[in-house]
Copies of this chain bind each other. A is one copy, B any other.
């Protein structure tokens, strides 16, 4: 395909604006051609911030333009599948923020549209593009730690999002743990057999009031017996808590939190450092850039998607199993969920 890849960003909220700026400043082989948002002032503000004049409010217009090669879907989750289908129909390559959708039916329908159209489709689980998690993956692939026996993921946000957002988020497992389920797929593949979830409301009773939980532990067991544990929380006093460890027959590898500076201060009180990154956009800035570079490279060079629809469907399956486990207070077989479709 002709370079640069011409991308339109759909949705000019926080994440859309970030991707738009990354395209302009950090993806040399791509160009931002337009920003679309139902709220014109948001679209305009984003375009101005990115130094382009082209913005709009109409999805159909943008999909009809021949100078748009690809779209980055950054609208609210409930609109994803409809836009995917329209974009695929228009022959546009698609980068889509996670999750594709909260239901398997709509996901499968969207993925069929993608396949029929033959466009490249990539989902925005950015953590896979972080160099430290990639180092874990490499250690597994290289046999540096032997056969994996167990995995531990600690994943906590600094503070809960607004209740209004949570109300339609799909709940902790599909909104937040979904990233950790994707990490589980990245590191351990797709052969999950059972899912057990235990949870509580500890951070904010308002989260309980809308039927959600804010603190959870989820245990996955794989076909070969491997055990994977995820610890989640909607609040973390010291900032964004993002740690992964894989323990295997020949050793273990782990990634601890990341920090804005490396200075260590020693006084009569303690030996200390400043807290980790607080904001996910800071912690994963490099990873967000890399995922767009990988998308651009895959389209331009005719490579397979770095994170296909099939890959991105599995975290939703696990998330639905976790929801059922919590409700039914028992471990759930993945087959129970898979068979629902």
Q: Which B residues are CB-close (under 8 A) to A274?
A: 135, 270-271
Residue count of chain A within 8 Å CB distance of chain B:
76
Would A260 and B131 be within 8 Å (CB), given that A147-B202, A237-B266, A249-B202 are in contact? Answer: yes
A66 near B: Cβ within 8 Å?
Answer: no
A229 near B: Cβ within 8 Å?
Answer: yes
* CB-nearest residue of chain B to A230: B229
- Other 20 A-B pairs with CB < 8 A, given A132-B261, A150-B233, A239-B268: A25-B25, A25-B28, A135-B274, A136-B263, A139-B263, A150-B217, A152-B154, A194-B198, A196-B331, A200-B225, A202-B249, A215-B225, A216-B227, A231-B247, A237-B250, A237-B251, A238-B268, A251-B266, A271-B273, A272-B272
A269 near B: Cβ within 8 Å?
Answer: yes
A341 near B: Cβ within 8 Å?
Answer: no
- Which residues of A are at the interface with B, using a C-beta cutoff of 8 A? 25-26, 28, 51, 131-132, 134-136, 139, 144-147, 149-150, 152, 154, 156, 194, 196, 198-203, 215-217, 219, 221, 224-227, 229, 231, 233, 235-239, 241, 247-256, 258, 260-276, 329-331
Q: Which B residues are CB-close (under 8 A) to A330?
A: 330-331
Shortest beta-carbon distance, A184 to chain B, in Å?
14
Asked if residues B196 and A225 are in contact (CB atoms below 8 Å), the reply is no
Q: Lowest 4 CB-CB distances: which A-B pairs, in order?
A: A200-B225, A272-B272, A251-B267, A238-B266
What is the bound-complex CA distance between A273 and B271, given in angstroms? 5
Q: Which B residues are CB-close (under 8 A) to A241?
A: 247, 252
Asked if residues B260 and A264 are in contact (CB atoms below 8 Å), the reply is no
What is the bound-complex CA distance between A28 and B201, given in angstroms? 44
What is the bound-complex CA distance between A261 and B290, given in angstroms? 15
Shortest beta-carbon distance, A196 to chain B, in Å?
6
* Copies of the protein in its oligomer: 4
Q: Which residue among A51, A139, A229 has the maximum number of chain B CB atoms within 10 Å of its CB?
A: A229
Q: Which B residues are CB-close (under 8 A) to A251?
A: 237-238, 265-268
What is the bound-complex CA distance between A262 and B258, given in angstroms? 8
Shortest beta-carbon distance, A48 to chain B, in Å?
12
Asked if residues A229 and B227 are in contact (CB atoms below 8 Å), the reply is no
Q: Which B residues are CB-close (under 8 A) to A194?
A: 198
Would A252 and B266 be within 8 Å (CB), given that A131-B261, A194-B198, A260-B131 are in contact? Answer: yes
Q: Which B residues are CB-close (under 8 A) to A256?
A: 262, 264
Asked if residues B226 and A229 are in contact (CB atoms below 8 Å), the reply is no
What is the bound-complex CA distance between A71 and B249, given in angstroms? 41
Shortest beta-carbon distance, A247 to chain B, in Å?
7
Q: Which B residues are CB-close (under 8 A) to A265?
A: 139, 144-145, 251-253, 270
Q: Which B residues are CB-close (under 8 A) to A275?
A: 266, 268-271
What is the bound-complex CA distance between A221 and B202, given in angstroms? 13
The 8 Å CB contact of A249, one of B216, B235, B262, B269, is B235
What is the bound-complex CA distance between A149 and B202, given in angstroms? 7
